[in-house]
Amino acid sequence: LKYMTEHHPSVQVAVSRGSTELQLMQLRERQLDALVVDVRRVATAPDLNMAHIVELRAGFVCRRGHPILAQFPDQVPFDALLAYPMASTPLSQEVARIMVDHYGPRANPAHMTTLQCEEIPSLIDVVQQTDAIYLGILGAARQGLASGSLVELTMDPPFRAGALLALITLAGRTELPIMSVFREFVTRQLTD
């Protein structure tokens, strides 16, 4: 919003948040022009154009001073996470399979996630104020990680997963001229 205000002040911009399913419905009803979402949460469909943008690294994050850091200062075993509330956005079945393959059946997000919200800033706020642990894109916790108020947990075994973000538009729909600006902006901004 800030970028568009400064560089394209006459363009009408609306940011819509919510579940991927809701946003896909809004795209199909032409209420939205484009989505930027984890492609793993979207089924391939002939009416959708999906252009890969970037893969963002994911991980586990807690507040500085969290009890798990005192107990496991170097590497945190996965099972130790389960003693604390887990905060995450809804995750795709593919991500669930990756986690279960990596850490075993107890890592199924459907069972281990106790706090779920589409609004990542709300999850980060809860993690900064409680003993909850965030599971998600690390870039969303960038400010807290940089300031030291949040800490990325070094997992044993290491966590190697991420979000595959794509720009999704409706096939056959004439693209607005401003979409090239949006595409360039999103590609530039969404980096680790």
Q: Tell me: domain 55-161, CATH 3.40.190.290, correct?
A: yes
What's the whole-model pTM score?
0.79
**CATH class for the domain made up of 2-54+164-189:** alpha beta
Domain ranges of the chain: 2-54+164-189, 55-161
Round to whole Å and give the CA distance between 67 and 81: 11
For the chain, the straight-line distance linking the first and the last C-alpha, in angstroms and rounded, comes to 20
> The dihedral of CA 25, 29, 32, 33: what is its sign?
positive
Round to whole Å and give the CA distance between 136 and 88: 6
Output the tens digit of pLDDT for each of the chain's 192 residues: 888 899 989 988 878 878 888 999 999 999 999 988 888 888 889 999 998 878 888 999 999 999 999 999 999 999 999 999 999 998 888 888 889 999 999 999 989 999 999 889 999 999 999 999 999 989 899 999 999 999 999 999 888 878 888 889 999 888 888 888 888 888 888 765
